[in-house]
A = this chain, B = another copy of it.
């Protein structure tokens, strides 16, 4: 796979992580609380939020279930791949 696509993958993971964190904080949930609701480990939640993990479809749906949102809501930040380098990280 070309380098360009590989860079896009990293951006996709980071965008997913930002959106997950944003939805979690909107609900005033800790990573631990979201992990509990989603049937996943707290460290895993942290890794996903930091864009470190290439998570699976099952776990994407587990997060949607844990947050009680439509799975598409988790991809709200799509398109961030091309903007990510221009943006400051969230301070929250």
Asked if A56 and B55 sit within 8 Å, CB to CB, the answer is: yes
Contact B62 A5 (CB under 8 A): yes
- A interface: dominant SS: helix
* Residue A26 interfacial (CB < 8 Å): no
A21 lies within 8 A of chain B by Cβ: no
Give how many A residues have a beta carbon under 8 Å from the other chain's beta carbons. 23
CB of A81, distance to nearest CB on chain B (Å): 8
A28 on interface, CB distance cutoff 8 Å: no
CA distance A12 to B9 in the complex (A): 22
Within 8 A of B (CB), among A51-76: 54-58, 60-62, 65, 70-72, 75
Q: Kindly supply a per-residue 1/0 record for chain A positions 1-39, scoring 1 wherever the CB is within 8 Å of any chain B CB and 0 otherwise.
A: 100010011001100100000000000000000000001
